[in-house]
A and B are shown apart, each in its own frame.
Chain A
Amino acid sequence: MVPLALAGVAVALVWLAPGLLARPRRLRRAPRAALVAWQAVSLGGVLAALAVAPAVLPLVLEGDDLRSHPWLVALALLVTAVVLGRLLLSGHRVGTRIRQARTEHRELVDILGEHDRDGLVVLQHPTPTAYCIPGRGPRVVLTRGVLDALPDEQLAAVVAHERAHLRARHDLLLEFFTVLHESVPPALRSATALAEVRLLVEALADRAAVRRSGAVATARALVTVAAGRAPAGAMAASTSAPVRLHLLALGPQPVTATLAYALAVVAVALPLALLGFAWA
């Protein structure tokens, strides 16, 4: 029964939970806790998937010694190794691709941009935009357009937002979810998970911007950058800007945070407890 339960938990956490976690809009008002819950649910799903085969063993052995059934043990290890292998392969692919893109981009920006002592780089380009290049030798890149379009207070909000990404290594979080996303068989992939995590990361960085310059300056910066970009990005289906502005108006929600943390603990503890139970 336990292996079935573990398989059930794995499917539930990998396949069903993302849809359920993305639904309650309240969770977005506690982005830090929500991100912890997302990570825990994903980690729990991976643990459950890895634990299925080891949990089958005690059932098949019926009290025999492990050493008397070497082929059974080997089979269980193989199943677990395949799951782990998919993860590692996906991790390698995604990691290589992301690092290469970053290095190429950083080299170009270093040639083209004007650097200042605070690690900010300014590109002579009229489109108002700002972004950061995470990884080794991180950079915050601003365009001349964004410097011209935003007053100091709003610009400081934008920089605080990007620095929050770099400081909290949001890139690693996104990489983790991209790796998970690609390691799951295509039929079971849920685009919701990745999209929601992206939004939460932005909402969390917006918090840093609000701490620096206040909600109004942050909101104004978002609207100005959106307006300056709209003609070029008119094809974009839906963006994070409306939700983020809405979140800025609502403010944080501590009760939801506590619930999200509790969920996170359960999601990781459940597969471990089930595996322990199988061997008890």
Chain B
Amino acid sequence: MPHSAHAPRLGDLERVVMDRLWESTVAGGDGFAGVTVREVHEALEKDREIAYTTVMTVLDRLAKKDLVTRERDGRAWRYLPADTREALTARTMRRTLDDMEVTDRRSALLHFLDGASTDEIADLKAALAEVEARSDRPASRGARSRRPR
């Protein structure tokens, strides 16, 4: 486990390497058989100074996290993304939402809303009408709009 001083940099590289793997998967089509460390290194080297061993370390970390799989190809490993970006996003979100039901893990993330049930929606709309009715009486405070994106 690398020390925290290096973690942010490796974290950034994980993202770059995963992006590269996903791009290669799309470009490679059905016959895509993965990329080697050398291929990833050559692609990344165009944009930044990066050591071959660093790419190796990052791919290794990603494999440990089950984000990539690898297959032997002669003396080298060929790396493939374990999931598409969309599938991994869906899995991450599913887990995030499921965790809200588990007391144990609930304190890890703080959600805007802890869940909702279909039965409640009608009640919620009624309560919203109450809030709106109330705010009509005292002068509502104007707040400037700024899209935080």
Contact = CB atoms under 8 A, between A and B. Distances in A.
B114 A222 contact: no
B148 interface: yes
B89 A230 contact: no
Interface of B: 4, 8, 11-12, 14-15, 18, 65, 67, 85-86, 88-90, 92-93, 96-97, 99-101, 103-118, 120-121, 123-125, 127-128, 130-132, 134-135, 140-141, 143, 145-149
Given A159-B148, A213-B143, A131 B117 contact: no
B110 A170 contact: yes
Contact of A249 (B14, B105, B134): B134
Contacts of B96: 105, 129, 131
Contacts of B145: 152-153, 156
A143 B93 CA distance: 9
Interface in A97-125: 97-98, 101-102, 105, 107-112, 116, 118, 120, 122-125
15 contacts: A120-B149, A123-B89, A137-B8, A170-B110, A198-B106, A201-B110, A214-B135, A222-B112, A223-B128, A236-B115, A237-B117, A239-B116, A239-B120, A242-B127, A245-B127
B148 A118 contact: yes
A201 B143 CA distance: 24
A47 interface: no
Nearest to B138: A251
Interface in A203-233: 205, 212-217, 219-223, 225-227, 229-233
Contact of A223 (B118, B125, B149): B125
A226 B93 contact: no
A134 B110 contact: yes
Contacts of A174: 107, 110
A215 B90 CA distance: 32
Given A131-B110, A213-B143, A227-B116, 9 more contacts: A108-B88, A131-B109, A133-B109, A201-B110, A222-B113, A223-B121, A236-B114, A239-B113, A245-B131
A249 B110 contact: no
Given A101-B105, A198-B114, A124 B89 contact: yes
A183 B11 CA distance: 35
A137 B111 CA distance: 17
Contacts of B11: 107, 110
Contacts of B101: 235-236
B90 A125 contact: yes
Interface residues of A, number: 82
Given A98-B107, A214-B140, A233 B115 contact: yes
A196 interface: no
B110 A226 contact: no
Contacts of A222: 112-113, 124, 128
- Nearest 9 A-B pairs (CB), nearest first? A226-B116, A236-B115, A245-B127, A101-B108, A219-B131, A130-B112, A233-B115, A131-B111, A152-B145
Contacts of B146: 152, 156
Contacts of B99: 101
Interface string A227-267: 10111111111111110011011010000000000000000
